[in-house]
Structure 1
């Protein structure tokens, strides 16, 4: 499997070019910390860097893919049609505003409802991950300097590494007890958080990643990266891809036992399958 075998290679190249330009802009703000922090109606923070990054992506897409629809975190939906670009200009804004380098720009292309291109660019970490349908998943600093990604072969929860963002939200969906039970059954837990948890699943350094509350723009770019690396990405209710309000990503071997663990009722037997 190679990028040349994907029908979306040119869209992926475009996403890389856009990510290069956005990285330069976001890193300027991150290096200088020259922004005020505002609070959106949903009580999440936003900065001028978020808005400028999304404006830049939209401007580039308007010139290169003017017929495609665009949906972004900061400016909503524009256009219509079967091809739809999904944007999160800065995933991890809370990290960004505190000087923590774990944040990224997420660019995805969804074609007829299926995420087919994903680029996750984390310039403060010096990392980038990407994938195109039927072309594999990769990490590196450029298309020409890349390493192909493969998920782990861990097949037992007792040997698994599990990453999440925080405890917030698990109680809201009435699965806090199940979540805590899963953390006790795996080998290791770490809250790497946000995009990084899922990219590490694709890399094989983490085996399970899950979050209880997410938006489409939080997930769309991650789906092809995990899937093209050989993993599985669904909602906590096993809805395919990013079609649900939350996410569970695994190496595939652990998907069924992780789903079962997160749905098990108190005192119900659980199995590794």
Structure 2
């Protein structure tokens, strides 16, 4: 089954989101809920952000790098985030101050690499064929030529890798709030930085262009490169 934009959706997407909504509504009946599959239910100043399967294409093709994203916003700030990657048995949870990694064997703090230099950075980026704007595609292609290693992004798993120090930079476009808001406190809690392409804090009304980096100098250098459109 596909949505109007031809992206795949499965019965599992609907079932997971329905189950999450039911649990949230039972525990926090006055909270708002914003989900990928069922839209928004209005409520208080607290809003839950849900992406039941981030990486549905990976899920349907047997790639284990799909995950569930859950975020809790208070007014305009995401205060708690969760990345759960069930096929890998890995999970990251953060509150903007601290990020915990759990792989079923160990629970430990997650910390970014601290990389400062573009030429040493390991980059995950939206693949070129997914860009609808040629200028954006050219900007990411140019940035990719200046890093140490560039690889197509692996959905939410890339942000977990960034939080644990296995990559240094992520550049994406075409995202929805449920794709990026839950990862904000995870990246920040691990010591990283995450903004839109203009250096602004991501929010519900952001344009879906996201940069996450292991340090402020690396973030600034990436934004400087991207904005030479």
Fold conserved (TM > 0.5)? yes
Moved more, 48-57 or 199-208: 199-208
Among 216, 226, 233, the alignment partner of 2:187 is 226
**Change in CA separation of 1:73 and 1:232 when aligned onto 2, cut-off 3 Å:** same
Asked if the contact 1:223–1:242 (Cα under 8 Å) also holds between the matched residues in 2, the reply is: no
TM-aligned CA deviation for residue 165 of structure 1: 3.5
**What whole-Å deviation, never above 9, does each CA across 1:96-142 have from its counterpart, x for those lacking one?**
011111100101001111011101101101111111243x0011046
Provide the TM-score with structure 1 as the length reference: 0.79
TM-aligned CA deviation for residue 169 of structure 1: 4.1
Q: What SS does the corresponding residue of 1:52 show, helix, strand or coil?
A: helix
TM-aligned CA deviation for residue 250 of structure 1: 0.3
What residue number does 1:256 align with?
Answer: 220
Unaligned runs of 5+ in 2: none
Q: Which aligned segments of 4 or more residues in structure 1 are displaced greater than 4 angstroms? A: none
Residue 115 (structure 2) pairs with residue 166 (structure 1): no
Among 95, 105, 119, the alignment partner of 2:68 is 105
Provide the TM-score with structure 2 as the length reference: 0.93
- Between 1 and 2, higher relative CO (CA 8 Å, sep ≥ 6) is seen in 2
Q: What SS does the corresponding residue of 1:185 show, helix, strand or coil?
A: coil
Residue 80 (structure 2) pairs with residue 117 (structure 1): yes
TM-aligned CA deviation for residue 173 of structure 1: 6.1
Cα distance in 2 between the residues matched to 1:150 and 1:242: 23
Asked if the contact 2:113–2:214 (Cα under 8 Å) also holds between the matched residues in 1, the reply is: yes
Residue 58 (structure 2) pairs with residue 95 (structure 1): yes
Cα distance in 1 between the residues matched to 2:130 and 2:190: 28
Among 99, 102, 109, the alignment partner of 1:140 is 102
TM-aligned CA deviation for residue 168 of structure 1: 3.4
User: Please, what is the CA RMSD of the aligned residues?
Assistant: 1.6
TM-aligned CA deviation for residue 211 of structure 1: 0.6
Cα distance in 1 between the residues matched to 2:132 and 2:146: 19
TM-aligned CA deviation for residue 215 of structure 1: 0.0
What residue number does 2:160 align with?
Answer: 199
Q: What SS does the corresponding residue of 2:198 show, helix, strand or coil?
A: coil
Asked if the contact 2:126–2:173 (Cα under 8 Å) also holds between the matched residues in 1, the reply is: no
Cα distance in 1 between the residues matched to 2:148 and 2:3: 38
Asked if the contact 2:153–2:170 (Cα under 8 Å) also holds between the matched residues in 1, the reply is: no
Cα distance in 1 between the residues matched to 2:87 and 2:7: 21
* Correspondence list, 1:1-273, <5 A: 38-134=1-97, 136-141=98-103, 145-172=106-133, 174-243=135-204, 244=206, 245-252=208-215, 253-265=217-229
Unaligned runs of 5+ in 1: 1-37, 266-273
The alignment of Structure 1 onto Structure 2 pairs a total of residues equal to 226
